[in-house]
Amino acid sequence: MSESVIADFVGKFNSEVAGRGDPIKGRIVLSQKRLVLAASEDDKLTIPLDSIFDIAIGQVPPDLGDFFDSTVTIAFERKGKRLVAAIEAGDEKIEKFGTVLFKAVINGTETTVKERARVGGRVTDEAFKSAKLFLTPGNVEFRRNDGSFAVDLKTVSDFDRNTREINGKSRPVLTVRHMKDGTAMTTLAAMASNRKMSILGRYLRREYAELMEELKDVELTKDKKEVLVAMYSTGDMDGMPLASILGKDSSQVSMILQDLSADGLVQDGADGPTLTPTGKIVASRHLEDVNA
């Protein structure tokens, strides 16, 4: 290959193209433009990255056999047909390869982005600007000529996909609601490619699911929810008497704050306790619970 190699390792794989009953051991090589599954010098499957329309980790179509464990499954187009291939290796290797594959497909994608489409409850008049999209650890980064910015995935409270008319053309648009510098914000990112938007959506759902998995073990009592929502709704209190606002004893509130700090949802700030980025996500998700 003339392009540089990003990943090169030995694993097992199968594909609908090969039509094998069981996966076979071979070499998996990923470059900037293609993925090659080589059982031997004469038995290779080459998948151009621009033919890939979906990537899934840990899911194997039943037609490819029940012998896979830790896997990356790739859906791609070949001669007008939609096909799948599955790759198996150790847990850590597959996790790293899946992330690298997402980056290889997405990084450098041309987007049109509106960084601050909404700030708090206010819709801004900011215009869409051209940017290149990159996936970096824990972030989605938009690189523009007038300056780059990143969305920290740990601060994302919600995202969805819709369609908008931008510069006279209908484009798939990703709407991301997140926190930045303590303020709720909405960022819009449009792509010309539905294929890449779908792959980006898959990546974000996976990353978001992992974050939610980390939070599922946090036990939130009614009192904890009330404290989180009160801090979220009033901008981390700014020195206001939290106990009196909640109608609770100050010692009781102090104990709740200590528990929330241990959960990673509250931290000490210059003016008293403040919500962590994760705390803000959790609080925003429980607004209706408390206000009901």
Q: Residue 65 has what pLDDT?
A: 52
Compare 284 and 29 and report the one with higher pLDDT: 29
Sketch out the chain's domains with CATH numbers: 5-105 (2.30.29.30), 109-217 (2.30.29.30), 222-291 (1.10.10.10)
pTM of the entire predicted model = 0.77
Query: Among the ranges 22-36, 53-67, 255-269, which has the highest mean pLDDT value?
Result: 22-36
Lookup: tokens for 170: 């209908």
17 exposure class (CB count in 10 Å sphere: 0-12, 13-18, 19+): middle
Q: How many whole angstroms separate alpha carbon 5 and alpha carbon 67?
A: 28
Closest CA to 45 of 21, 72, 26, 67: 26
Segment 164-177, tens digit of pLDDT: 888 788 889 999 98
Compare 236 and 187 and report the one with higher pLDDT: 187
Weakest-pLDDT range from 28-42, 201-215, 231-245: 231-245
Lookup: tokens for 60: 């194997």
Segment 187-207, tens digit of pLDDT: 999 998 899 999 999 999 888
Closest CA to 156 of 281, 267, 264, 265: 281
Q: How many whole angstroms separate alpha carbon 238 and alpha carbon 232?
A: 11
Compare 3 and 196 and report the one with higher pLDDT: 196
DSSP 8-state code for residue 51:
G
Band (pLDDT 50/70/90 cuts) for residue 68 is low
